[in-house]
Chain A
Amino acid sequence: MSQLASHSPGRSALQGVREAIPLLGGYIPVALSFGLVASQAGFSTLEAAAISTLIYAGASQFLFVGMIATGAPLWLVVAMTLLINVRHVVYGPNLAGLLPRSRHWPWLMHGLTDQVFALALTRLPQLPDVKRFSWFVGASLLAWGAWIVGTAVGATAGEAFTARWPLLGEIMPFALPALFLTMVAPRFTDKRWAAAMSLTIVAALGLTLVGGSNVAIPLAAACGALCFYTVKFQNKRRAL
Chain B
Amino acid sequence: MSTALWFAVVICALGTLLMRVVPFLWMQRRLNSETGINNMPQWLGILGPLMIAAVLGVSIVPVNPSAISWVATAIGLSATLLVWWRLRSLGWPVAAGVAVFGLVELGAAL
**A contact set with B: CB distance below 8 Å:** 19, 21-22, 25-26, 29, 43, 47, 50-51, 54-57, 60, 64, 68, 74, 77-78, 81-82, 85-97, 99, 101, 105-106, 109-110, 112, 114-115, 117-118, 121-123, 167, 169-185, 187, 193, 196-197, 200-205, 207-209, 213, 216-218, 220-221, 224-225, 228
Contacts and interface: CB of A to CB of B under 8 A. Distances in A.
Given A85-B16, A173-B63, A177-B73, A224 B53 contact: yes
Contacts of B24: 91-93, 95-96, 105, 109, 112
What 7 A-B pairs come out closest when comparing CB atoms?
Answer: A204-B57, A92-B24, A178-B97, A96-B27, A180-B56, A54-B13, A93-B27
A221 B43 CA distance: 11
B58 A205 contact: yes
A128 to B, nearest CB: 18
Contacts of A64: 8-9, 12
A155 B55 CA distance: 26
Interface residues of B, number: 70
Nearest to A117: B51
Contacts of B106: 167, 171
Interface of B: 1, 4-5, 7-13, 15-17, 19-28, 31, 39-40, 43-64, 69, 72-73, 76-77, 80-81, 84-85, 89-91, 93-95, 97-98, 101-102, 105-106, 109
Contacts of A171: 98, 101-102, 105-106
